[in-house]
């Protein structure tokens, strides 16, 4: 009976083909569950932003090469990435009420990184911290999909993803301040923000988790098949995007320290890269709600290549301008790819989020030691130039991305009652949570 009621009265404003009301974006910004998830996303990704600032201290303490210290990023991001599909599968079936525990785990494990006695233990602790991040991301994206109005999905998902980008952006500033004050032992202070936000999320997320359980039970009977080819294109593009951004972000501190710049300079440069990425993320989501996502992704991929070359060719103060352009272009496409993946895997939002974020970020994690090896052999500046070739591959893949019409065709065959219920539940979750 409850399913019949849900299907009988879908409000007209939630249809994807309808234009959102004039006040729609203001409603999205006032969506308290969405903003709560955004804050949690900011906090968990803040630890990833602090990590590169720790590299010079680890290099000095353990006498490491650039290719070796890159394995810290591989341990943290690799474990986070590989575990995301599993946690996404669990979230689709068991709910996400305890998402705050994921943030607690990352905060607790990351805080001890500055106290470990050898580099092997650093890798182990970094991997353990990555598990918390790997659990949070698909659960957070699944929660976000439950509170996002259907007609504004690109904009709202961009707002959620912006939280993570802002976290990575402020991470270098926080890390630089803590390590300047406390040295490598400053990692202990990182337990405070994670624990505080996690406790708040445990309270706030109870209502959203109940909605997700109802949705999974209603829509489980009729799931459309997964279009493997289009999903492979989306995942591949996310992998190249992550490789580019992980590589550039990870080696900014080491590159500029080798050139004699102060930590305040290169931490500010990394922050500019990521803050403009946050601006580009919101802007791309808003544009995608009005225009073609595929066209937007193709243009941003094409323009990002010369921006990366400029960043590598002209270090110092000019790099602030090129870093801002890279952030606006190369780093702003993640939420659009995430929305496409969730639509292609209808009824499996958690698994889709874990798959695209997990496989995408694991390539970024693998790319860091590869870039470190290139830097050891040919210098960091040439390693930065190499990222332009990686980014160029995204131009080719963007051509094969499915259009919005093609996505509807691919997911149409079994989109009967189950899909209608899912859409209505998403719309209801978005309005109830405001």
Instruction: Note whether residue 1 is domain-resident.
Output: no
pTM of the model: 0.68
Above 50 in pLDDT, residue 52?
yes
Above 70 in pLDDT, residue 92?
yes
What CATH number is associated with residue 268?
Answer: 1.20.1250.20
Domain containing 145: what range?
19-432
Instruction: Note whether residue 9 is domain-resident.
Output: no
Instruction: Note whether residue 8 is domain-resident.
Output: no
Q: What is the pLDDT of residue 410?
A: 79
pLDDT tens sequence across 161-172: 888 878 887 888
Instruction: Note whether residue 6 is domain-resident.
Output: no
Report the domain count for the chain: 1
Instruction: Note whether residue 219 is domain-resident.
Output: yes
Q: What is the pLDDT of residue 21?
A: 40
Instruction: Note whether residue 2 is domain-resident.
Output: no
pLDDT tens sequence across 99-151: 889 999 999 999 999 999 999 999 999 999 999 998 898 888 777 777 776 66
Percent of the chain scored above 70 by pLDDT?
Answer: 81
pLDDT tens sequence across 282-302: 777 777 777 778 888 888 899
Q: Is the separation of the CB atoms in 50 and 271 below 8 Å?
A: no
Q: What is the pLDDT of residue 12?
A: 38
pLDDT tens sequence across 224-263: 777 888 888 998 898 888 888 888 988 898 899 899 998 8
Above 50 in pLDDT, residue 432?
no
Written as six digits, the tokens of 134 are: 């790997």
């Amino acid at each position: 009976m409850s399913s019949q009621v849900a299907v009988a009265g879908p409000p007209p404003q939630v249809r994807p083909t309808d234009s959102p009301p004039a006040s729609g974006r203001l409603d999205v910004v006032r969506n308290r569950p969405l903003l709560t998830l955004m804050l949690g996303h900011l906090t968990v990704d803040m630890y990833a932003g602090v990590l590169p600032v720790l590299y010079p201290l680890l290099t000095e303490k353990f006498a490491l090469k650039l290719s070796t210290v890159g394995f810290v990023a591989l341990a943290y991001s690799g474990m986070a990435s590989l575990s995301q599909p599993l946690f996404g599968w669990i979230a689709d079936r068991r709910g996400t009420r305890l998402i705050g525990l994921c943030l607690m785990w990352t905060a607790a494990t990351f805080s001890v990184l500055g106290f470990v006695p050898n580099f092997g233990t650093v890798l182990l602790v970094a991997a353990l911290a990555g598990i918390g991040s790997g659990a949070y991301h698909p659960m957070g994206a699944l929660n976000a999909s439950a509170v996002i109005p259907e007609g504004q999905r690109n904009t709202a998902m961009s707002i959620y993803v912006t939280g993570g980008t802002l976290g990575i952006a402020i991470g270098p500033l926080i890390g630089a301040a803590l390590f300047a004050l406390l040295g490598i032992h400053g990692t202990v202070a990182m337990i405070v923000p994670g624990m505080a936000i996690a406790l708040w999320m445990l309270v706030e997320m109870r209502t959203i988790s109940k909605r997700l359980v109802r949705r999974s039970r209603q829509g489980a009977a009729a799931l459309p098949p997964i279009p493997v080819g289009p999903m492979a294109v989306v995942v591949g593009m996310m992998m190249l995007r992550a490789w580019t951004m992980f590589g550039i972000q990870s080696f900014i501190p080491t590159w500029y320290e080798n050139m004699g710049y102060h930590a305040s300079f290169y931490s500010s440069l990394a922050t500019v890269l990521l803050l403009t990425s946050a601006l580009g993320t919101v802007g791309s989501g808003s544009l995608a709600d009005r225009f073609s996502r595929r066209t937007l992704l193709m243009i941003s991929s094409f323009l990002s290549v010369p921006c990366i070359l400029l960043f590598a060719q002209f270090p110092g103060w000019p790099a602030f301008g090129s870093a801002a352009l890279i952030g606006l272009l190369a780093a702003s496409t993640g939420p659009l790819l995430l929305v496409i993946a969730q639509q292609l895997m209808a009824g499996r939002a958690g698994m889709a989020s874990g798959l695209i974020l997990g496989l995408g970020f694991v390539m970024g994690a693998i790319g860091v030691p590869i870039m470190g090896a290139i830097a050891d052999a040919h210098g960091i500046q040439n390693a930065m130039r190499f990222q332009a070739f990686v980014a160029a591959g995204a131009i080719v893949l963007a051509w094969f991305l499915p259009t919005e019409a093609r996505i509807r065709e691919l997911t149409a065959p079994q989109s009967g009652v189950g899909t209608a219920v899912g859409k209505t539940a998403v719309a209801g979750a978005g309005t109830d949570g405001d």
